[in-house]
Chain A
Amino acid sequence: GENVEQHPSTLSVQEGDSAVIKCTYSDSASNYFPWYKQELGKRPQLIIDIRSNVGEKKDQRIAVTLNKTAKHFSLHITETQPEDSAVYFCAASNPGNQFYFGTGTSLTVIP
């Protein structure tokens, strides 16, 4: 089955700096890569996603890049704000209708 690894497990940045979270996956058939934000005690919420036919996608301060050859994808958050503090999960799904989350990154933005 798929194995999704996520790094780092914790990340602290100063407000206004950028944050980068990286994930690797093992199943070359995986074709959809979403990122979720989960605040303490709340449900995961989709913040951005990318499909395997696209190399990069951007939505305001958030961007995701995908390298299919190397089987890794990354989340980039620019101009971080305190409200960006949360746990972020990457995920991968394959055409076999299986869905795998990474282990999560706890991001703290220091005011």
Chain B
Amino acid sequence: ETGVTQSPTHLIKTRGQQVTLRCSSQSGHNTVSWYQQALGQGPQFIFQYYREEENGRGNFPPRFSGLQFPNYSSELNVNALELDDSALYLCASSQDSFTDTQYFGPGTRLTVL
């Protein structure tokens, strides 16, 4: 398995609440990307952080935000949760960019009721 970890494993929230998901990248990996994977679908790119700055974003609204810290950890924050936000959230770390191999974490399963 990769050295990428995520917490928590599972999470249940209600509509309108806020949630913070955490990821710990492999040591030395400057880039972290976050993805949303709905059941039976491919991962959807949310955004990418490189050395604590967001430097790429997919088609997700501003209520999806993130942070990356110097210790190779990062967070995905989602405000005003909607039922459609229920999904597996994956983070992936890579050396410097997408063209370096991305190593995925095990994911956090978020259920919004």
Contacts and interface: CB of A to CB of B under 8 A. Distances in A.
Given A97-B98, A101-B42, A43 B107 contact: yes
A102 B90 CA distance: 16
Contacts of A98: 45, 56-58
Interface in A39-63: 42-46, 49, 51
Given A99-B48, A101-B45, A43 B101 contact: no
B102 to A, nearest CB: 7
B13 to A, nearest CB: 22
B42 A102 contact: yes
Interface string B57-92: 111000000000000000000000000000000100
A111 interface: no
A44 B43 contact: yes
A89 interface: yes
Chain A: number of interface residues, binned into ranges = 20 to 34
Nearest to B43: A101
A31 B99 CA distance: 9
A43 B104 contact: yes
Contact of A97 (B56, B102, B105): B56
Nearest to B6: A43
Contact of B43 (A31, A49, A89, A93): A89
Nearest to B57: A98
Contacts of B33: 99
A100 B102 contact: no
Contact of A104 (B42, B48, B105): B42
A103 interface: yes
Contact of A44 (B41, B56, B90): B90
Contacts of A96: 56
Interface string A80-110: 0000000001000100111111111000000
A43 to B, nearest CB: 4
Interface of A: 1, 6, 31-32, 34, 42-46, 49, 51, 89, 93, 96-104
A-B pairs, top 6 by smallest CB distance, nearest first, are: A97-B56, A101-B42, A93-B98, A43-B104, A99-B45, A32-B99
